[in-house]
Amino acid sequence: MKVLLLGARGQLGSDLRLGGVAHEIVAPAREALDVTDAGAVRGAIAAARPDVVINCTAFHNVPLCESEPELAFRTNGVAVRDIAMACAERNVRLVTYSSDYVFGGDQTTPYSEDATPHPLQVYGITRLAGEHAALACAPEHAIVIRTCGLYGAAGSSSKGGNFVNGRVLEARAGHDLEMASEQVVSPTATTDLAHATWQLLLASGTTPGIYHLVNEGACSWFEFAQEIFALTRSRGTVRPVDRGARTGAMRRPRYSVLANTRARALGVTLRPWRDALADYVRTTWPEFA
């Protein structure tokens, strides 16, 4: 399979590359291809002639999206539309990612793919716009993958790394932390998401539409941090704190656990979040093996 990979330097993009050695991957750097330049996107797809475009780009610093809504909409909405249109014109499959933040967090059981979105902040609105644009402009080609709480070896430059690495550093230093206990999520290793993405692309029954892909299970950010402190045998402690699911005035979903319903039906499954986290910590810091 020939793949044009956008956002290859990010944490998911890096793991897609590592796990995609069986494929021919063209991965232009951001400096060579800005996805908000529709003409450049069209030109890159025409030049690469891929079977699939995988779009890992996003503007996903959630608080920053509130102060820069136009850039958020351009990257997460308009660019996704332009990529989808170019894919549909050239009969190229498209995989593009979205977020648990399209949901409002009122449920107490995992959200399935057909649950009704209700974004609470600019970021979620722009992701929902991108989903609709991809499926409207490339209805026969687009796969939209919603995921949650990603961490991977490369880290996310726009988020200053990833949650796990940050907590491991604090745990090692023996710090005491306060962590939000009111937001329940499905943290996901990008190694596992990358593997599941390749499986989904290769599965014979995969049809266009929305798929959820997250590590199985759920935890609050407090429980997630607590597990990191346990794995690293930290002297420090983690205390739960209820921040009202807000960052300043911006609201976050209290519960955004995703159910991998459609992928599981195709035989694509991910392991429980605790197993993926333990693997990541022990691989990244062998001293904790």
Ligand X SMILES: NC(=O)c1ccc[n+]([C@@H]2O[C@H](COP(=O)([O-])OP(=O)(O)OC[C@H]3O[C@@H](n4cnc5c(N)ncnc54)[C@H](OP(=O)(O)O)[C@@H]3O)[C@@H](O)[C@H]2O)c1
Annotated active-site positions, please? 123
Nearest residue relative to ligand X (C-beta)? 10
H or E element in which residue 88 lies? helix 79-89
Alpha-carbon gap, residue 36 to 74, rounded angstroms: 6
Q: Which of 270, 271, 183, 189 is nearest to 228 (CA)?
A: 189
User: How far, in Å, are 2, 16, 21, 56 from residue 25 at the CA level?
Assistant: 6, 10, 8, 14
Nearer to ligand X, 12 or 137 (CB): 12
Q: How far is the CB of 122 from ligand X (least distance, A)?
A: 14
Nearer to ligand X, 11 or 206 (CB): 11
CB distance 2 to 50 below 8 Å = yes
Alpha-carbon gap, residue 216 to 75, rounded angstroms: 29
Q: How far is the CB of 145 from ligand X (least distance, A)?
A: 8
Alpha-carbon gap, residue 76 to 230, rounded angstroms: 36
Nearer to ligand X, 145 or 238 (CB): 145
Q: How far is the CB of 177 from ligand X (least distance, A)?
A: 19
CB distance 26 to 50 below 8 Å = yes
Q: How far is the CB of 237 from ligand X (least distance, A)?
A: 25
Tell me the HSE value of 95 on the side-chain side, using a 13 A CA sphere: 29
| β-strand pairing of 93-99 with 177-180 | unpaired
CB distance 117 to 156 below 8 Å = no
Alpha-carbon gap, residue 176 to 31, rounded angstroms: 40
Q: How far is the CB of 102 from ligand X (least distance, A)?
A: 10
Nearer to ligand X, 236 or 243 (CB): 243
Q: How far is the CB of 230 from ligand X (least distance, A)?
A: 22
Site residues for ligand X per CB under 6 A: 7, 9-13, 30, 34-36, 56-60, 75, 97, 99, 147-150, 156-158, 190
Nearer to ligand X, 64 or 236 (CB): 64
| β-strand pairing of 184-185 with 219-220 | antiparallel
Nearer to ligand X, 56 or 143 (CB): 56
Q: Tell me the Cα Rg of the chain.
A: 18
